[in-house]
Amino acid sequence: MKYTIEWTPPAEDELIAVWTAATDQSLVTAVVHRLEQRLRINPYVGQTRHSSVNRVVLSPPIGIWFDIIEDDKKVLVLSVWSIE
């Protein structure tokens, strides 16, 4: 079963800031799309943080922090930042 990706408003704002500041905006767009596709299929990627369902994944030029809500089959993106 696929997971739904949901971005919190602060994460959306951070993504806009990262995208606006990026030297290659198309790369940021492509990486976000690739990460969303990957997380829809299997969100248990990257490194765990506070628990097995609180994770961080780095995929240059960005990193994202997210929670997995298994009961709802949802990935909740909490934060995004530039790692350029």
Give the pLDDT confidence of 8-41 residue by residue, as tens digits: 999 999 999 999 999 999 999 999 999 999 999 9
Q: What pLDDT is recorded for position 1?
A: 78
CA 73, CA 76: separation in Å to the nearest integer?
10
Give the CATH number of domain 4-82; options: 3.40.50.720, 3.40.50.300, 3.30.2310.20, 3.40.50.2300.
3.30.2310.20
Could you identify the residue written with the tokens 């909740």?
A: 76
Give the pLDDT confidence of 69-79 residue by residue, as tens digits: 999 999 999 99
Could you identify the residue written with the tokens 């959306």?
A: 12
What residue ranges do the domains of the chain occupy? 4-82
What are the Cα distances from residue 74, in Å, to 2, 9, 41, 43, 68?
Answer: 9, 16, 11, 9, 6
pTM (predicted TM-score): 0.92
